[in-house]
Structure 1
Amino acid sequence: WELDNSISNSEQPRHYIIYNVAYHAPWLHTPMARVILKWLFSNNACLHVNRGECLRILIEGGTDNVRLVELALQQIGLSQDHQNNAYWYSLLVDCDPDTYIPELEHWLSELGLEKALQASQVFITALIGNRHTGNLRPQIGKFRTANHLKSLYILMHRYIRVEDDVNRAGSGVYSPDLRDEAQEARNRLFNLLSECPGKDCYFSLKALAAEHPDHGYRPWMAKQAHKRAEEDGDLEPWSAEQVNQFGRVQTIIPATHRQLFDLTVCRLKDLKDWLERGNDSPWQTWQRAEGETETRTLIAGWLNQQCRDQYTTAQEPELANSQRMDIWLQNTHVQSPVPIELKLLDKGWSGPELCERLRNQLAGDYLREETAGCGVFLLVSQNIAPNRRWKIDRERPNLNALSQVLKDYWQNIADEYPGVAQIDIVVLDLAKRGLVSDS
Structure 2
Amino acid sequence: DNEDIYTVGIEFGLAGLELESSQLTHWSQDFSEEEVEIACRYAFRELNRFPSWFPRLYEQHPQKVSELVIQEIGWELECLKENKHYVLSKVCWSGEWLWNSIAEAMLVLLDKEPIHISILKDLLKIVQGSSSISNHMLAQLAERKCNVPISIATIPYWYATWISVDPKQAIKPFSDWLAAINLHDQQKATQKAMIMIVALLGKRRSGSGFREAFKTPTHLMQLYQLMHQYIRFENDLHRANSGAYSPELRDDAQEARDYLLSMLNTIPGKETYLALKELARTHPVEESRKRLKQYAKEREEIDADSSPWTSSQFSEFAKTMECTPSNHRELFDLGVQQLLDLKHSLEEGDDSIASTLAKEDQEAGIRKVIANWCGSRSFDKYVITQEEELADAKRPDCRFSSSRFNAPVPVELKLADNWGGPDLFERLENQLCGDYLRDNHSSRGIFVLVYRGKKITWQLQESNVKVTFAELVEALQAHWMQLSPSYPKIEQIAVIGIDLTKRTNRVKPAKKK
Which position in structure 1 is the counterpart of 2:482?
Answer: 412
Within 2, Cα distance between the matches of 1:345 and 1:53?
Answer: 63
Relative to structure 1, the CA distance from residue 49 to residue 336 in structure 2 (aligned partners, 3 Å threshold; closer, same or farther) is closer
CA deviation vs aligned residue, 1:280-306 (integer Å, no higher than 9, x gap): 444434444444344333323322332
Contact 1:390 1:398 in 2 (8 A): no
CA deviation vs aligned residue, 1:94-149 (integer Å, no higher than 9, x gap): 122122111111111111312101100111111112223x22x3121111111111
Structure 2 spans left out of the alignment, 5+ residues: 1-71, 509-513
**Higher RCO (CA < 8 A, seq sep 6+):** 1
Contact 2:110 2:123 in 1 (8 A): no
Q: CA deviation at 1:357?
A: 0.9
Which position in structure 1 is the counterpart of 2:156?
Answer: 86
Q: CA deviation at 1:332?
A: 3.5
Within 2, Cα distance between the matches of 1:54 and 1:212?
Answer: 36
Match of 2:134 among 56, 59, 64: 64
Contact 2:76 2:85 in 1 (8 A): no
1:248 aligns with 2:287: no
CA RMSD of aligned residues (A): 3.2
Match of 1:428 among 484, 487, 498: 498
Relative to structure 1, the CA distance from residue 366 to residue 295 in structure 2 (aligned partners, 3 Å threshold; closer, same or farther) is same
Residues 33-182 of structure 1 correspond to what in structure 2 (within 5 A)?
Answer: 33-41=103-111, 44-62=113-131, 63-69=133-139, 71-72=141-142, 77=148, 79-82=150-153, 84-112=154-182, 113-132=186-205, 134-135=206-207, 137-182=208-253
SS at match of 1:197: coil
Match of 1:297 among 364, 368, 385: 368
SS at match of 1:46: coil
CA deviation vs aligned residue, 1:152-173 (integer Å, no higher than 9, x gap): 1111111111222223334333
Relative to structure 1, the CA distance from residue 168 to residue 33 in structure 2 (aligned partners, 3 Å threshold; closer, same or farther) is same
Within 1, Cα distance between the matches of 2:394 and 2:135?
Answer: 37
Within 2, Cα distance between the matches of 1:326 and 1:64?
Answer: 38
Within 2, Cα distance between the matches of 1:88 and 1:8?
Answer: 24
Within 2, Cα distance between the matches of 1:35 and 1:309?
Answer: 53
| TM-score where L is the length of structure 1 | 0.85
Which residue identity lines up with residue 237 of structure 2 in the other structure?
V
Within 2, Cα distance between the matches of 1:368 and 1:197?
Answer: 19
Within 1, Cα distance between the matches of 2:102 and 2:396?
Answer: 53
CA deviation vs aligned residue, 1:26-50 (integer Å, no higher than 9, x gap): 2233334344334444x55424234
Match of 2:330 among 259, 278, 292: 259
Which residue identity lines up with residue 167 of structure 1 in the other structure?
H
Within 2, Cα distance between the matches of 1:311 and 1:55?
Answer: 47
Contact 2:80 2:115 in 1 (8 A): no
Which position in structure 2 is the counterpart of 1:284?
Answer: 355
Residues 353-432 of structure 1 correspond to what in structure 2 (within 5 A)?
Answer: 353-383=423-453, 388=457, 390-392=459-461, 398-432=468-502
CA deviation vs aligned residue, 1:39-85 (integer Å, no higher than 9, x gap): 444x5542423433332223233333344345545765564334x32
Which residue identity lines up with residue 196 of structure 2 in the other structure?
F
Within 1, Cα distance between the matches of 2:226 and 2:145?
Answer: 23
Which position in structure 2 is the counterpart of 1:272?
Answer: 343
SS at match of 2:118: coil
Structure with larger Rg? 2
Contact 2:420 2:458 in 1 (8 A): no
Q: CA deviation at 1:397?
A: 5.9
Q: CA deviation at 1:7?
A: 7.1
Which position in structure 1 is the counterpart of 2:255?
Answer: 184
1:344 aligns with 2:415: yes
| TM-score where L is the length of structure 2 | 0.74
Residues 194-233 of structure 1 correspond to what in structure 2 (within 5 A)?
Answer: 194-233=265-304
Relative to structure 1, the CA distance from residue 56 to residue 397 in structure 2 (aligned partners, 3 Å threshold; closer, same or farther) is same
Q: CA deviation at 1:189?
A: 0.6
Contact 1:46 1:75 in 2 (8 A): no
Within 1, Cα distance between the matches of 2:395 and 2:502?
Answer: 30
Q: CA deviation at 1:206?
A: 2.0
Relative to structure 1, the CA distance from residue 49 to residue 325 in structure 2 (aligned partners, 3 Å threshold; closer, same or farther) is closer
Within 1, Cα distance between the matches of 2:143 and 2:433?
Answer: 39
Once the two structures are aligned, what percentage of the paired residues are identical? 35
CA deviation vs aligned residue, 1:170-229 (integer Å, no higher than 9, x gap): 433333321122111111111111222222222222222222233442232222222222
SS at match of 2:399: strand
Which residue identity lines up with residue 369 of structure 1 in the other structure?
D
SS at match of 1:49: helix
Within 2, Cα distance between the matches of 1:226 and 1:436?
Answer: 47
SS at match of 1:300: helix
